[in-house]
């Protein structure tokens, strides 16, 4: 085959490969999620129990993603989990907003839900969300259920 024809086909082959990688990165891997928020402010929150929350988990308010969990550490002073969150600077929340850990569906991933408060001042860089609610741990729920059932049983027999 002619030299130029070969080079043409090889060029096409390489471009096809590059296009596939691009497709995988954009469509399957969502490259935009790496730096999706152009400008951010960092807030933190302490939870008694974070359940199965992981870094990179979504932070949602009214179901809309407004930030991402960047790191989770254990604070050995207060024996709580310290969760750091990058919030999209496009969304402002009152200072007294509360954060709770929620689960998407029965088997879904855990995420942080933010409920806006009523303060006039907004959360800013480095602020702490004071009011938090822990993840619902299945064992605790079952325990509660059993105790309440047992209490009911006692009340009935007397």
Residues that bind another protein (CB under 8 A): 1, 3, 6-7, 9-10, 12-14, 16-17, 19-21, 23-25, 27-31, 33-34, 107
Cβ closest to another protein, residue 34 vs residue 62: 34
Cβ closest to another protein, residue 69 vs residue 129: 69
- HSE at residue 16, side-chain half, CA atoms within 13 A, is 6
Tokens of 127: 């602020």
CA separation, residue 38 to residues 11, 61, 84, 109 (Å): 36, 19, 18, 25
Q: How far is the CB of 5 from another protein (least distance, A)?
A: 9
Cβ closest to another protein, residue 6 vs residue 64: 6
Cβ closest to another protein, residue 10 vs residue 151: 10
Q: How far is the CB of 8 from another protein (least distance, A)?
A: 9
SS3 at position 68: strand
Tokens of 25: 């990165």
Q: How far is the CB of 139 from another protein (least distance, A)?
A: 22
Judge whether 112 and 85 are in contact, CB under 8 Å. Answer: yes
């Amino acid at each position: 085959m002619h030299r130029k024809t070969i080079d043409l086909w090889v060029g096409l082959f390489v471009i096809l490969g590059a296009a596939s990688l691009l497709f995988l990165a954009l469509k399957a891997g969502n490259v935009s999620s790496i730096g999706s928020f152009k400008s951010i402010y960092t807030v933190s929150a302490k939870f008694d129990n974070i359940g199965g929350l992981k870094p990179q988990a979504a932070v949602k308010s009214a179901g809309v993603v407004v930030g991402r969990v960047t790191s989770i550490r254990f604070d050995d002073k207060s024996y709580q989990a310290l969760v750091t969150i990058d919030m999209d600077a496009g969304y402002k929340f009152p200072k007294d907003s509360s954060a709770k850990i929620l689960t998407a569906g029965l088997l879904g991933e855990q995420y942080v839900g933010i409920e806006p408060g009523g303060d006039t001042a907004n959360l800013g860089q480095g602020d702490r969300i004071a009011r938090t609610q822990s993840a619902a741990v299945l064992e605790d729920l079952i325990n509660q259920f059993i105790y309440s059932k047992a209490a009911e049983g006692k009340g009935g027999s007397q």
